[in-house]
Structure formats: C-alpha cells, structure tokens
Amino acid sequence: MTILFGCSDYRSNSTTEISVMLSIKIVGRSASLLLAILAGSCGDDSTEPTILPSSAASPTPSASPTIDTADHTFEFRDVSTDAGINYIGKTWGVAWGDANGDGFLDLWSGNHGNYVLWINARDGTFRDATTEWLMAPKADGHGAAWADFDNDGDEDLFETVGADRGFGRGNNRLFVNANGKLVDRGIELGVNDPEGRGRLPLWFDFDNDGNLDVLVVNYELKDRPSILFRQENGYFRNVNSEYGIEFNKAAQYAQIAKLAQSETNLIIHGYPFTQRIYTILKPRMVNKTLTYSFTGYQPVQDSIFYDLNGDLIDDAALAIGDLRSELMQISSNELRIRINFKQDQKEFRFRSIGDLSVDIGPPGLTWWSPSNIFIDRSGSNPKSLSFNVSKSNLVNSAYYDTSNLRRSVSIKFDPSNGYWSFSTKGDVEFINIAIRSNSEITDLSSTGISDSDTAFSNRVILSSQGVFSGSRNMAAISARSNCFSVAAGDFDNDADIDLYFLCTRTTKNEPNMLFLNDGYGNFFLDPSARGAQGSSLGIGDSAAVVDYNNDGYLDLLVSNGQSLEPFTNGPLQLFRNTGNSNHWLKIHLIGKGSNRDGIGAVVYLTSNGKKQMRVQAGGLHRGVQDDTRLHFGLGSAFKVDNLEVIWPSGERRSYAINSVDRIVDILE
C-alpha cells in the first residue's frame, strides 16, 4: 500500500518550484518514507517531516550526556540453515546490495571464484538465484561492491579479479543491472585491468560531477598499481597521474571517512597501515598521510571508521593479525601445518605408528601439484594432492634428493623409532598441510618453522579534533589476539557504535569477539559475543553488517573460508539480531545533483539530546560491503529532533522526523 501526500507552491519573488512529496510504503513490520525535497517546505499543512532552516555552522557534539535509559538486552542467533544459506568452502568477502530493488538486501558471495547470488525472499530466507541473474565464467574473484553507477535506478555490481598471483591474467567484472540480469561489461567500459591483482573496488565521486568513479585496489605487483578510474560519458579512464594520487605498496582496500570537521578523506590500506590518506578536493587530491598518522599498528588486516566517542569525527578500529607459519595439533591424531617460505628449507617431524592421510594446498600450476611431492628415497609422486601414505611401503628411511628443485615436499618414515618426517622448500608464498593418522600422534617438533602463537593486539584509535590517540579503555580490545576483520554498528540500538572482531589462527578458527560501547569510546568484551562467536570450522575470513529482514536490528554475516585449501571447510554464517525495546531509524540517501548513491554525504541526527554522525561511505572494508543504509540506534527516544544531510553537491537540509522505527529514503 502506498499513501501519497503532496503540495506545490510558486512564490512571486522566486522562480524555484517548492515541492514536497511524502510516500509511505508499508512492507512487513517496517515502513519506508520517501522524502522528495526539491526546495523549501509545504507550509502550515505539512506535519512530517518538517524542513528546518539550514545552518552553515559546523555541527557540535551533544552539550552534556543524557541518562542512559536504553535497553541493552539482545542476542545473535545462527539462522543460516533456516535462512537457506548453506554454503561451505572457500570465501573472499561478501557484498550486500538490492539487486531487484524490492527494499530487501540480497547477498553476493564471490567465494574466490565460485560465486553465488542469494536473493532475499523477504520472509527471512534466501534462494540461490545465480543462474537466473548471470552467466559468467569462474575467475580469481575477490572483493565486490554494489552501486548505481549509471544512475538508472538499479544497483550494479563491480567484482575485482586477481591475476593468479601475477602469473596469469584476469579481467575485472562490471555487472550492469538490466531487466533482471547482471551483464558483464567491464571490458567494454574500460575497467578490466587484466594484469592487476584486484582486491576491492571503492565507488565514490571524487570530482563531484554527480557520476560515480571507482578506485580499483590492487595488491602489490610490479608495474600494476591500484587504479583510479574516472567516469566519462558512461565509460571509465585511468586518471592516476592527473589527479595527484599515488600508490607504491600492497593494498587490500580503500575507504571514505571524515577525519576532520571540514573535510572528507580517502584512506588507502597498505602494509604498513596506512599507505595513503587524501583529502578529497577538486581538482586534485591533497595528500594528508603525515597529518593523520596511524603508524605503529601492524599488521593491520582490516579497519572501520565511525564516530565511536560522540565528537562527530570518525575514529578508527583496527583488526590486526597475520597468517604466520604454524604447527597445530588439532586432535590426538590430526595435525595442521602452515609454512611461509623465504627460499629456505623447513622440516617438521612427529611420532606415529599409524599410516597417514595427507592433504596439501593450495593447488595450481603456480602453487602445488603432485609432481612437487616426493615419497621416500625413491621419490614416487602421489596421484593427487590428497593421498595416503602407508609405512609398510616405505623401505628407505631417507629423503629423495631435491637439491636441484626450487619447490618440493619430501616425506620419509624411520621404522627404528616410529618418526615421520616432512621436508619442505618453496619459491611460492606458503604451503598448507593437513595430516591425519590412524594412530596417535606425539612428539611434534620442527626445524626452521616458528610457531606464530597468537601475538597481536587489535586497536581503537580515537580522534580529538583530528588528533588520534588510544581509547580510554584499551585493556579488553588490546588483549592478545589474531583478527582479520572488524565490523561496526549499533547492535543494541542504544545510540552508540559497537565493534565485532573476527578472529582466527593460521590453521584453525578462534572465537570472534563483541565489544559493547558505553557511549564514550570505552569498550567492554561480551564473554559470549551474544551468541556470535562463530564456527570452529574453517579459517575466519570476514564479517559483514546487514539488516537483512528490515526489522531495524543489525545482523551479522560471517564467512570462514580464508587461507585456501585444505583449511577452507568453513561455513557462511548468518546471525540474526533478536533485538530489544530500543528505537531506531535507517536512512537511505538518493542523490540527484550528487551521485545517486549519496556516497560522500554526511548525516547528523539529534535525538533525546544526543547528536550522532554517519558518513555514507559505501560500506566497504577488507573484502566486504556492509549494508549501505545509514542506521541510527535511538535508545528509548521515540522521535528524532533533527536530521541534517550535507550532500556531496554542497546542498544542506535539516528535517524533524516525529515517527521512528522505520526506513527513511531521502531524495536530494
């Protein structure tokens, strides 16, 4: 059902038409408001929303804290099976977007080439609609992002593609949404970059001409840096040199944030973090890397930028971890080994009287194949990377001579003491080995392999007028951990931003961590992550935030297929937020003079004496696109006193909204 209210007026002293239209669409438990604001107001007959006079003054934080009357009870429930999301295997991030334009977000899961498009059935379930929507060959697929780059009212999808570690070629894919199909036009539109090791696209309108441009972030490869593509008449052109942007290090993603009141910033991930920070100004970007220093926090795998302490400037939360060499005994008869190479030889050994089942990965001509594996002094090769070894077939307790080889795995067994030994060397980055014996495994040791143990600490870095320092309560967050993804949102709808860290070791998953914010940038660990500690299977890859059922409570999608074979047997997990009695509001921006997605807009919301700020940044962090609608928890407040939108075009509007617990679409 749609109810329309409209009015228009012409004033003798102005040639501008004054028009306001309010459309309320009733969808399930929530309602969606469309505010089509051309200019001015509807006068005395207009009751909601009310357009307030715009102010050119910079927004100021809340004058004083209010008494916390919010409901903090909620939990996450794993509804993956009930929702029909049954994927187990390799992953590489996810992207939430509205493919069919019905107001319920759909899920793109690239799965490192085995992509799936899950369409939201609007009843809490999803269906695999991949073959209905697109037909594209498998590729070395990485991060993806939805956006309406062609301003035609539906969301298109950009998927970055790698180049098989730089030894191959792979075209980035720009799937244009047309008549219920996603058609790849990446080559035609000029964004294919076949030799780049694509990691994640960032949609944003850097020159503020109303058309989305895209920064394709490439991982380190000689002569193939990340590329800034400017959209010109529907096509894209490399403009790195023209607009003052530089790349010189490995990167996984880029983000938009507001690091000072007067500017919006482009942040490019790198090792060390960050690679570059720019202020987005036409016609050239201004390098602010030295102004906003995040050095000393390594190795940063993921980051989010939100206002965590209520000062109306973005702060940072960093997930810090690494996939280091590791020997892990998973059970009494099972081992998992990760070895990172630097052209040196590494060996491990253990005692077992049983026969072995061995899995080695990752597979591929530029990685590992059976021809790289040599058993006993005879040097026999297995038929596949998953093979059995019987001690009764090994007659010589010596390695095969691999001195003239650059990449090899040699296996031997010594019947005199019951020791199995594996010697490895490689001209590739790493090797993963899973071993299972039909007898107990004991006395595991190694030469040249340094067990990583869990040796990193996540960080929250708070801003005070552009000067960044540590959180006032770092003890919980900085506890030793190894995390690869961080997600942020007001999970309990109490009007402050909470943090969720996805954690893992190199060879097995660790429990994920949820930190609740007290409203002042102090974070406290919830021991059970409110039910979202995640699976013990696989290797943690990413965490994404979404309100998939439009009930106003932020849910989580966790993927567990990182690190390639043979440790990728982890599931996609959808955690539904059960909610509480707190109120909420979600903002969906629709640009007109600005880009249609409103990327780069800043929204300020005041309710119950507290002011909150969100940047429409496209929802991106490492490998992930979150729900891009701007979510505000309101606590016990049942109305919004003021909502101010500053569009990329410079237009500035304020609204009073008296009804909450709904999705509000605001048209520029």
CATH number, residue 135 = 2.130.10.10
* Cβ neighbours for 555, distance < 8 A, ≥ 6 positions apart: 76, 545, 546, 547, 548, 549, 574, 575, 576, 577
Q: Residue 530 falls within a domain, yes or no? A: yes
Round to whole Å and give the CA distance between 264 and 617. 10
Could you give the strand order of the β-sheet that contains 213-219, starting from the edge strand earlier in sequence? 197-204, 213-219, 227-232, 235-238
Q: Residue 23 falls within a domain, yes or no? A: no
At residue 371, what are phi and psi to the nearest 5 degrees? -70, -15
Q: Provide, rounded to the nearest whole percent, the portion of the chain with pLDDT above 90.
A: 67
Same domain, 295 and 431: no
Tell me, what's the pLDDT at 54?
47
Asked whether the beta carbons of 348 and 326 are under 8 A apart, the reply is no
Tell me, what's the pLDDT at 222?
63
The last residue of a domain, from among 556, 577, 598: 577
Same domain, 213 and 353: no
Same domain, 431 and 480: no
Q: How many domains are there within the chain?
A: 3
Same domain, 298 and 412: no
How far is the CA of 392 from the CAs of 183, 385, 386, in angstroms? 56, 21, 19
Round to whole Å and give the CA distance between 219 and 302. 14
Number of residues written out for the chain: 668
Same domain, 404 and 527: no
Tell me, what's the pLDDT at 424?
95
Same domain, 183 and 248: yes
At 189-216, the pLDDT tens digits run 999 999 899 999 999 999 999 999 999 9
- Take residue 602 and report the two structure tokens written for it: 């800043």
CATH number, residue 616 = 2.60.40
Partnered with residue 174 across adjacent β-strands are 158
Same domain, 489 and 428: no
DSSP letters along 268-283, please?
E--SSSPSEEEE--SS
Domain that holds residue 600: 583-667
Tell me, what's the pLDDT at 471?
67
* pTM check: above 0.85: yes
What amino acid occupies position 112? H
Asked whether the beta carbons of 573 and 78 are under 8 A apart, the reply is yes
Q: Residue 528 falls within a domain, yes or no? A: yes
Q: Residue 317 falls within a domain, yes or no? A: yes
Same domain, 346 and 419: yes
- Take residue 482 and report the two structure tokens written for it: 């190894």
The last residue of a domain, from among 396, 423, 452: 452
At 89-106, the pLDDT tens digits run 999 989 999 999 999 999
The last residue of a domain, from among 452, 467, 490: 452
Distance of CA 134 to the CA centre of its chain: 23
Q: Residue 62 falls within a domain, yes or no? A: no
Pick out the chain residues at pLDDT < 50.
1-48, 50-56
Q: Residue 461 falls within a domain, yes or no? A: yes
Q: Residue 51 falls within a domain, yes or no? A: no
- In 3D space, the residue among 626, 643, 619, 660 whose CA is nearest the CA of residue 547 turns out to be 626
Same domain, 209 and 93: yes
Q: Residue 41 falls within a domain, yes or no? A: no
At residue 63, what are phi and psi to the nearest 5 degrees? -65, -40
Tell me, what's the pLDDT at 17?
29
How far is the CA of 195 from the CAs of 46, 191, 199, 229, in angstroms? 56, 12, 12, 16
Cβ neighbours, 10 Å, residue 376: 19
Same domain, 480 and 331: no
- Take residue 101 and report the two structure tokens written for it: 């334009």
Same domain, 195 and 214: yes
Same domain, 622 and 643: yes
Round to whole Å and give the CA distance between 256 and 202. 9
